[in-house]
Chains A and B, each alone.
Chain A
Amino acid sequence: MDFDFSEDQRLLQETVKDFLEGECTAEYVRGLWDTQTGRSPEFWAKLAEIGVPGLMVPEQAGGLGMDERDLVLVLEETGRYALAEPVIGTVAVAVPLLVGLAESGERKLAESWLGRIAAGEAIVAVGHDRSPLVSDAHIADLLLLPHGDEIHAVDPGEVGLTAQRSNDQSRRLFAVDWAPSDRTRVASGQAGRKLVDAAFDRGVLACAAQQLGVGCQLIDMGALYATQRKQFGVAIGSFQAVKHRLANAKVQVEYARSLVYRAAHSVARALPTRAVDVSMAKAAAGEAATSAGKESLQVHGAIGYTYEQDLHVWMKRAWSLDLSYGTGAWHRARVADAVLDGRLPAESFGFVPPGA
């Protein structure tokens, strides 16, 4: 039993953090809003240089061969810096899905993509059942789309994309007009179902992990502002009413963190409780990040309500992540179904109830 990260894992997190702190500034994030794709192939190439896209690509395919316990810290940093690039779809979901497809017989498909992903040369966009829209389909080299128990590998050149406009200007969402066919089907039946479910849960975990970073950033922005802004001759952060708002947000984020890290372990180990564990993580982290946004806004006052100030970049990210891969309410309902009605496996951590 060891619920801590290794020095290597922390080092990886620091590397990504340092990189993003230098390159992924708020100014940079906002600059991308007005570009045609909202994405930067150059930036993605730099992420590939530090190993991010290939983090979970097997070593023999040119990746780092890591798992969700490594990825979760990296995702947290991408949230902290509001990175717009498709790390959730490509890095957290598509890569393990391709590995799973290889194991269920689609070796050639997986081999043809995994190496290119690790090299930063391919983007894969993934669909899921909780949304009719697919994120980043416009820059994808491959689409992996569920259809019932099936998964289809679809060439983006063969589909119609209708761009949507999101409140979060960094988001790029598309309705995808496509038709499943024998030619595109790469998994079906029980094997397909398992892959669809696992891919969804990975997306859930990834959103939750990013929310930790988003929440921390929102709190830090509030704390910084409260330290600098003076009223009545003192820093407003000296007032308890201000302190307590940010302290409450901190409590929420820190306890969500424990659920997120455990969920990373459950996913990496494919535990039977995976679905419930990721749902708890996302419900808690989503609520923590969106609350942190509200508290931080209140601490900022009117200046935080302006378009010019950067606070809304993270507030909007918290909202959009909260809506991605199932809302908080949807995930809490999934927890309730499991814990109250026994519809999914759930167990308490450590504590073994009497009679069990």
Chain B
Amino acid sequence: MDLTYTPEQEAFRKEARAWLEANVPAEPLPSFDIKEGFEAHCEWEKKLNAGGFAMVPWPVEYGGRGADLLEWLIFEEEYYRAGAPGRVNQNGIFLLGPTIMEYGTPEQRTRFLPRIASSEEVWAQGWSEPNAGSDMANIQTMAIRDGDDYVINGQKTWASRGAYAHWLFGLFRTDPESSRHKGLTFILARLDTPGITVRPIEKINGKRAFAEVFFDDARVPVANQLGKEGEGWSVAMATAGFERGLMLRSPARFQNTARKLVSLYRETVAAGGFVDGAVRDTVARCWMDAEAYALNTYQTVSKLMAGAKIGAEASLNKIFWSELDILMHETALNLLDVRAELLPGSPAAGDVGDWLDGYIFALAGPIYAGTNEIQRNIIAERLLGLPRK
């Protein structure tokens, strides 16, 4: 155990910092949940990719720089330090990309990975259906083979970024006789395929953050299946592992929020705002938890680099960061007092930052990527050995 960076790691940090300082837009981009913001974020991703920083741990041939996971963490730290835009293609870069790397054919890697890195193709997820939420094995959308195509019928929902994305990945039932986890296949589908209709859904702040996707005899080439036919569940579990375990929410995100919370606390104290011991204690707690999350991630990365795999431990992560995110935003809104409800730009709002928007986003955390209740079941059953039934 040695918690100091090597000179090479420090040099990498400097390089990333210099590039980001020179290139990050001075003004924050509009939300990627609106059309204009989505496009601005795609432009930013192109720039990031041209600089070689879109996905640093990927091999060079796919648009990465072959960095190790520690360097990825360092990059993420610098990314949040620089206040760089959110990753509009997070489904592609953090979830699908690693899955293609593990399960894709050489052709699929060459076809998809560089376009994910450049965000020329932005991805939505297609897991949930109206009757398959937490019970994902109840997926009913059928993809029936017909020659070199699958003919897909059914409906996916809650597809984040689905309103503007170009592609969707998800699980489809390719064996109509099958049930539960069997007979499912991981398929990649262009969202402009004839027979696919995307209907955006507004989230509670009115922005089109997600969508439902209807399939009506939509034909998708069999070549777009990822992994083997009928083995989609295990491919999807790998994707979910990346999502919950490491990539989706890197620690710098929460450390940065904790830092902003500490600043807000200090400003509130300086301005004579209401602060009591309980608020003070909670701010300290938030700081500690953000640290714990960062340290835990470094532990995980150290283990991965030594050849270990992440298993059900990923579920611990997902619960921890999603609940921490809510706590930090709630505490900030407490500190903002009456201004907490004012939208940015409202005359009396002053500098309310993006705490309200962040809070609304944080509230989704315990729901997406598998509800926290499902994560708790996984922990109990797979880490603590409790019976399923």
Interface residues of A (CB under 8 A from B): 1-6, 9, 69, 219-220, 223, 226-227, 234-235, 237-238, 240, 242-244, 246-248, 250-251, 254-259, 261-262, 264-265, 280, 283-284, 329, 332-333, 335-336, 339-340, 348-354
Binary contact readout B264-301 vs A (1 if CB under 8 angstroms, 0 otherwise): 01100000000000001101110111111111101101
- Cα of A354 to Cα of B256 in the assembled complex, Å: 9
Interface residues of B (CB under 8 A from A): 1-6, 9, 70, 73-74, 77, 80-83, 251-252, 255-256, 258-259, 262, 265-266, 280-281, 283-285, 287-296, 298-299, 301-303, 306, 313, 316, 319-320, 373, 375-377, 379-381, 383-389
Q: Is the CB of B298 within 8 A of A250?
A: no
State whether A336 and B303 are in contact (beta carbons under 8 Å apart), knowing that A259-B292, A350-B73 are contacts in the complex. no
Residues of B within 8 A of A261 (CB): 1, 295, 299
- Cα of A335 to Cα of B291 in the assembled complex, Å: 12
Known: A219-B384, A339-B284. 14 other contacts (CB 8 A): A2-B3, A2-B302, A4-B306, A238-B387, A243-B376, A243-B377, A254-B316, A258-B298, A284-B292, A335-B287, A339-B262, A350-B77, A351-B252, A352-B77
Q: Is the CB of A227 within 8 A of B387?
A: yes
Q: Is the CB of A2 within 8 A of B1?
A: yes
The chain A residue with its CB closest to the CB of B260 is A353
- Cα of A348 to Cα of B288 in the assembled complex, Å: 9
Q: Is the CB of A254 within 8 A of B296?
A: yes
The chain A residue with its CB closest to the CB of B303 is A4
Residues of B within 8 A of A9 (CB): 1
Q: Is the CB of B2 within 8 A of A2?
A: yes
- Cα of A265 to Cα of B289 in the assembled complex, Å: 18
- Cα of A69 to Cα of B3 in the assembled complex, Å: 11
Q: Is the CB of B295 within 8 A of A258?
A: yes
Q: Is the CB of B389 within 8 A of A348?
A: no
Q: Is the CB of B281 within 8 A of A246?
A: no
Q: Is the CB of B316 within 8 A of A227?
A: no
Selected from B9, B289, B316, B320, the residue in CB contact (under 8 A) with A1 is: B9
Q: Is the CB of A247 within 8 A of B293?
A: no
Selected from B83, B280, B289, the residue in CB contact (under 8 A) with A255 is: B289
Q: Is the CB of B295 within 8 A of A244?
A: no
Residues of A within 8 A of B319 (CB): 247, 251
- Cα of A237 to Cα of B388 in the assembled complex, Å: 8
Selected from B251, B288, B376, the residue in CB contact (under 8 A) with A280 is: B288
Q: Is the CB of B376 within 8 A of A349?
A: no
Residues of B within 8 A of A348 (CB): 255, 258-259, 290-291, 294
State whether A240 and B298 are in contact (beta carbons under 8 Å apart), knowing that A235-B387, A251-B316, A258-B292 are contacts in the complex. no
- Cα of A284 to Cα of B259 in the assembled complex, Å: 19
20 CB contacts below 8 A, A to B, read A4-B1, A5-B1, A219-B384, A220-B384, A226-B386, A237-B380, A242-B386, A243-B380, A244-B373, A247-B379, A250-B316, A250-B384, A255-B289, A265-B1, A332-B284, A332-B285, A339-B262, A339-B283, A340-B283, A353-B259
